Amino acid sequence: MQSGAKKYLPLKYYTDISMFPDLWNKDLNRAKESNKWANPDTFDVSMAVVKESAKTNYDKINKRISDFEIGVKEVLIQLSEDGNIPSHDKLRAVLDNIYKPSKVITPNDPAEAPKDFIPFIEFFIKTATLKPNTIKSYNTSKNNLKEYQLEKNKTLSFDKIDIDFYNDFLDYLTKPAKVKTKAGKTITRAGLSKNTIGTRIKNLKTFMAAANDRNIIVSMDYTKKSFKKPSEETFSIYLTEKELDDMYNKSGLPPYLERVRDIFIIGSETGLRFSDLSKLNKENITPENTIRIKTEKVGKTIEAPVTPKVRQIFEKYNYQLPKIPTNKNFNDYIKMVASRAGINEPVTIERSKGVFVVGQTVEKHELTTSHTARRSFATNAFLAGVPSISIMKITGHKTEASFMKYLKMSSKDNAIKMQSHPFFNKMIIS
């Protein structure tokens, strides 16, 4: 290097391409050839299929890396003037515009994100690519933060969202508070449940991370373990195989309830979520008598056996399943179906409400929702002795720990299941 020459530090630029370290060839800057790239669904087929799946996947990711590399070189050539290398900020801005458009301000937006707390959150909600339910959740969290400002007579800023604020905000959300409605009336909001508060904290951490990504000065307390999302196990039920049979065989239902009942039964036989049931059609049934569908929530393709009940329901509607009502209406209707099917066992539930734990006894049909079908599938399959790993292949749970939390069997159900285990059937030797 010539004396006086300027030394440039390399620019670190993070892409959305990721992999496990042991699958990365640091010498070639490419993904390694390994059967670990294979789709798990191919493991039970043949080694040839596993290798083909692996090659397809690592070829695909290596092509993305090559395309990115070529693209960056082209940008560098275009930005370099008279041999002068562009600044890091300029290069990063151009790369963001190409590879991370969601971070870039659109022409209709201000030149840069506002740095004030509430205005930034509003900006973030407006400019990020979000699903409608996420927007609704973010707006509710924003409103709670605005209410907190009014209650405490203070203006929040990103550098003040520390652990002391966290504790005070939790206390505020837990206790009843007076808030103004859109109509301008003042009402008393009840204390929120732990899981609802957990959603508010999760959203707040998202806002903090988004601000930090844009180089806004923020308190880093939001990254600490103590700045955690509160949660408690939600109370939910499952329907036994007998209860599902009672529902399936219930006659005399009005057509709109019968249609909802049939869709619910498909869910209880396949483990599909409500969002996937709503798009199920004839094309999802394979020649191997399975239902194959790419799930809406996680984008993973799963397969479930077509049981006799499922086949019968498809045939009933000539393989054109009826249109499903909104989730709210579906939940209202399935409660009515469960009630008419005699699913009225008393169930006592306890929920946190603010600083109190509230107990309530209701009939089981009142707790039946669209998601009960999926929980019933997982729990009944497990109680019938189907291996956890096989059920997880259908439900899409990644770990057995998360799957076991999903099961809703009672202590009695567990004891009955254990009766068939050899440990509890030892021979008496006299």
Reported as a single tens digit per residue, the pLDDT across 364-390 is: 999 999 989 999 999 999 888 888 889
Domains of the chain: total: 3
Burial class for 204, CB neighbours closer than 10 Å (0-12, 13-18, 19+): buried
Q: What is the pLDDT of residue 106?
A: 46
337 and 212 in a common domain: no
Packing angle of the helix pair 370-383, 388-395 (nearest 10 deg): 160
**Tokens of residue 289, six digits:** 């008598």
262 and 124 in a common domain: no
Tell me the sheet residues that pair with 294.
Answer: 301
CA-only gyration radius of the chain, Å: 28
Cα 377 from Cα 275, distance rounded (Å)? 16
99 and 135 in a common domain: no
> 10 Å Cβ neighbour count for 124?
19
Geometric angle at alpha carbon 258, from 254 and 261, rounded to 5° = 140
Question: If we measure between CA atoms, which residue out of 278, 323, 285 comes closest to residue 304?
Answer: 285
Cα 373 from Cα 366, distance rounded (Å)? 14
Q: What is the pLDDT of residue 182?
A: 62
**CB–CB of 244/268 below 8 Å?**
yes
Contacts of 131 (CB under 8 A, 6+ apart): none
94 and 55 in a common domain: yes
Q: What is the pLDDT of residue 420?
A: 66
**CB–CB of 148/161 below 8 Å?**
no
- Per DSSP, helices labelled H in 221-326 are 241-248, 255-270, 274-277, 308-316
User: From the centroid of its chain, how far is CA 15?
Assistant: 22
Q: What is the pLDDT of residue 414?
A: 65
**Tokens of residue 49, six digits:** 């299929």
Instruction: Give the CATH number for residue 393.
Output: 1.10.443.10
Compute CA distances 77 → 14, 66, 71, 84, 365, whole Å: 20, 17, 10, 10, 67
Residue in this structure with the two tokens 């992999």, named with its chain if needed: 19
352 and 251 in a common domain: yes
Residue 425 lies in a domain: no
Residue 147 lies in a domain: yes
Q: What is the pLDDT of residue 90?
A: 73
Residue 252 lies in a domain: yes
**Tokens of residue 42, six digits:** 């191919």
> 10 Å Cβ neighbour count for 84?
9
Residue 396 lies in a domain: yes
255 and 219 in a common domain: no
**CB–CB of 310/377 below 8 Å?**
no
Cα 213 from Cα 208, distance rounded (Å)? 9
Which amino acid does the sequence have at 244? L
Show the domain range for 216.
117-223
Q: Quote the pTM value.
A: 0.56
263 and 206 in a common domain: no
389 and 280 in a common domain: yes
Residue in this structure with the two tokens 């930034």, named with its chain if needed: 120
Instruction: Give the CATH number for residue 125.
Output: 1.10.150
Question: If we measure between CA atoms, which residue out of 356, 283, 299 comes closest to residue 291?
Answer: 283
Cα 198 from Cα 204, distance rounded (Å)? 10
Residue in this structure with the two tokens 């405490």, named with its chain if needed: 152
Residue 422 lies in a domain: no
Cα 60 from Cα 66, distance rounded (Å)? 10
Regions of the chain with pLDDT less than 70: 1-9, 41-45, 81-84, 100-111, 180-184, 233-235, 350-359, 408-430
Q: What is the pLDDT of residue 86?
A: 73
Residue 423 lies in a domain: no
287 and 214 in a common domain: no
387 and 351 in a common domain: yes
400 and 275 in a common domain: yes
Q: 301-305 and 290-294: which strand pairing?
A: antiparallel
Tell me the sheet residues that pair with 360.
Answer: 349
Q: What is the DSSP-derived secondary structure letter of residue 285?
A: B
**CB–CB of 229/198 below 8 Å?**
yes
199 and 132 in a common domain: yes
> 10 Å Cβ neighbour count for 275?
13
Residue 10 lies in a domain: no
Q: What is the DSSP-derived secondary structure letter of residue 113?
A: -
Residue 359 lies in a domain: yes
